[in-house]
Amino acid sequence: MATISTAREERELTESLFARRPLTFDRSLKRNRINRLCTGIAGLFAVTAVLPLFLVILYVLLQGGRLISFSMFTELPPPPGLDGGGIGNAILGTMLVTLIASLIAVPIGVGGGIYLTEYSQRGWFAKFVSFGNDVLAGVPSIICGVFVYGIVVATRIFFDQSYSAMAGGIALATLMLPTVIKTTDEGLKLVPQELRWGAYGVGASKFVTVMRITLPAAFTPIATGVVLGIARAAGETAPLIFTALFSPFWPEGVFNPIATMSVLIFNFAIMPYEAQNELAWAASFVLVMMILVANLLARWIASFSRA
Tell me how far apart the alpha carbons of residues 26 and 67 are, in angstroms, rounded to a whole number.
55
Residue 235's CB: how many other CB atoms inside 10 A?
Answer: 17
Residues of the chain with pLDDT under 50: 1
- Give phi and psi for 270, each to the nearest 5: -95, 0
- Give phi and psi for 158, each to the nearest 5: -100, 95
Closest CA to 232 of 279, 167, 178, 159: 178
- What's the pTM value of the predicted model, to 2 decimals? 0.82
Tell me how far apart the alpha carbons of residues 178 and 49 are, in angstroms, rounded to a whole number.
25
pLDDT of residue 244: 92
Tell me how far apart the alpha carbons of residues 94 and 291 are, in angstroms, rounded to a whole number.
12
pLDDT of residue 4: 57
- Taken in order of first residue, the domains within the chain and their CATH numbers are 70-306 (1.10.3720.10)
Residue 190's CB: how many other CB atoms inside 10 A?
Answer: 13
Tell me how far apart the alpha carbons of residues 77 and 84 are, in angstroms, rounded to a whole number.
8
Q: What is the pLDDT of residues 125-165, one digit of tens each?
A: 888 888 998 898 888 999 999 999 999 999 998 888 889 99
Dihedral (CA of 84, 88, 89, 91) sign: positive
Tell me how far apart the alpha carbons of residues 165 and 240 are, in angstroms, rounded to a whole number.
9
Chain centre to alpha carbon of residue 22? 49
pLDDT of residue 64: 86
pLDDT of residue 19: 56
